[in-house]
A and B are shown apart, each in its own frame.
Chain A
């Protein structure tokens, strides 16, 4: 900062404290709304929290007992496995569409590209709850558009309830989450693609590189960092699909067969007031997210410094 200034006795201390004062409001609110809950959750996950505690008895300290109970329950592993499988499949499909659409945007003429971009933007902008309501209507078993379309295409599905069977429940969830997530992936990757210079591509073409070779050896390596970061974000987001699953469950599917991490915690905590188990599960989700986020944050810091 200003170096040549003559030493003034009062100023330095004030200037030393100013940044901390400026940070104070943000830090305080984060400590209250996020910091305290994490600590509370950590402590509660190591206590026994039963009916007696709900009536004010001091909880008993049980160390890792809750975690042991939780993770020796096969249902927990079913939920974890379901969430991870759903997350990976959804992220992979989203990335495939995202890369495909980004390449497509580059290949078509400007008016068509803008049409496609507007369509994607509208899907991206739709609030989750509104989107879920629309999709519930489209997949409605009585008068839904999908059943009508399939029946007309020769697959009789009038009156078929897609949300009843866990497998088709998750297929519907996959379609919806992909529909919501592809726009961001496509836009981000397209932004990366526009960084690839035309001259390099032309030079490669003159040297006899096929379109596929140009994608494989020039375009992919250049946009690889963007793809990496978008994929990581997709995985982190798809691991925490709470609203989407909860709102599909509302339509009367069997919740115990379709629970994912978020809805499982909701059921434990809000449903049966088992705060210790809900906390243990929440800590597990937090650790999983932090492990995934670590790579992302490191990447950002590196970029920020360069």
Chain B
């Protein structure tokens, strides 16, 4: 009896929590005439993909998509390479300053963009990298690389060095042993870290808002914000806005489901920026 009641409570909470996401999908399929009615339509019956067509019509979506892909791609690639090398250093070598480095890695990832974006804006201004994919990527790489190091460090440490040494006894050089034995075993860690870095760069808003002020170079979050901002004077076409949100959110949701398990344990034992 009590278990049934708790079950009902859990279902109610699940419905409340999923409602906003459902509401986005529902509204994205409905024409504005229907959304303008006083009583909301709870199911997208008679809905169509028209909103999606009109949102993607003027090409600004694809432009923003291109910028977002470039920024995220650059951030993921550099982040993985840099973090991988650093993770190797701290889990395979003992050296002076190692402990301070680990401490710094943990601290740096807690630094908020909200406390630094003014200086980053001035820095990019003086480097001539305002409104540039490279400028914003540099900041993303620096922001994500500490967590990626921490995450990969666990993976590298999980591959016993004995394996490499055994291969070296068999006549491989240290580098060869590493590339043939250890590297393949790290693939899952690299994928997880890569997806994490991708999501961070893809979703980032604060730094992008400050550095990418030109509409030609906006990322998807900025493009989405533009909908509400431009239209605050006139009535918003919520159907189109929700279609835009869906386009931004759905790829992220799918990617996120892949790394979720690792994120939770990573967050508790390794810290991540929200």
> Across the interface, do B112 and A289 meet the contact criterion of CB distance under 8 Å?
yes
Quick one: CB contact mask for A115-150 with B, threshold 8 Å, 1 for yes?
Answer: 110111111111111110111111010110100100
B10, B15, B108, B224: which contacts A112 (Cβ < 8 A)?
A: B10
Known: A20-B95, A116-B14, A250-B225. A134 touches B245 (CB 8 A): yes
B177 at the interface (CB under 8 A from A): no
B186 at the interface (CB under 8 A from A): no
> Across the interface, do A133 and B141 meet the contact criterion of CB distance under 8 Å?
no
Number of interface residues of B (CB under 8 A): 101
Chain A residues lying within 8 Å of B146, measured Cβ to Cβ, are: 30
Q: How far is the CB of A213 from chain B (nearest CB, A)?
A: 17
> Across the interface, do B20 and A134 meet the contact criterion of CB distance under 8 Å?
yes
Known: A121-B256, A179-B17, A289-B115. A26 touches B6 (CB 8 A): no
> Main secondary structure on chain A at its contact with chain B?
helix
Q: Which of B6, B17, B38, B122 is packed against the most chain A CB atoms within 10 Å?
A: B17
> Across the interface, do B40 and A301 meet the contact criterion of CB distance under 8 Å?
no
Chain A residues lying within 8 Å of B166, measured Cβ to Cβ, are: none
Quick one: CB contact mask for B14-25 with A, threshold 8 Å, 1 for yes?
Answer: 110110110110
Chain A residues lying within 8 Å of B23, measured Cβ to Cβ, are: 134, 137-138, 145
Complex formed: what's the CA distance from A34 to B85 in Å? 20
In the A-B complex, the 10 residue pairs with the closest CB atoms? A37-B119, A33-B142, A125-B256, A22-B89, A119-B14, A269-B118, A262-B114, A19-B93, A285-B115, A293-B110
Q: List 30 A-B contacts (CB under 8 A).
A: A18-B89, A23-B86, A23-B89, A23-B90, A26-B149, A30-B142, A33-B139, A34-B108, A37-B119, A37-B122, A37-B123, A41-B119, A116-B13, A116-B14, A124-B260, A126-B21, A126-B253, A127-B248, A133-B241, A137-B23, A140-B236, A191-B264, A240-B113, A250-B232, A286-B111, A290-B107, A290-B110, A297-B110, A301-B102, A303-B269
Chain B: residues with CB nearer than 8 A to chain A?
3, 6-7, 9-11, 13-15, 17-18, 20-21, 23-24, 27, 35-40, 78, 81-83, 85-86, 88-90, 92-95, 98, 101-103, 106-108, 110-123, 138-139, 141-143, 145-146, 149, 165, 202-203, 205-206, 209-210, 221, 224-225, 227-229, 232, 235-236, 238, 241-242, 244-246, 248-249, 252-253, 256-257, 260, 264-265, 267-271, 274
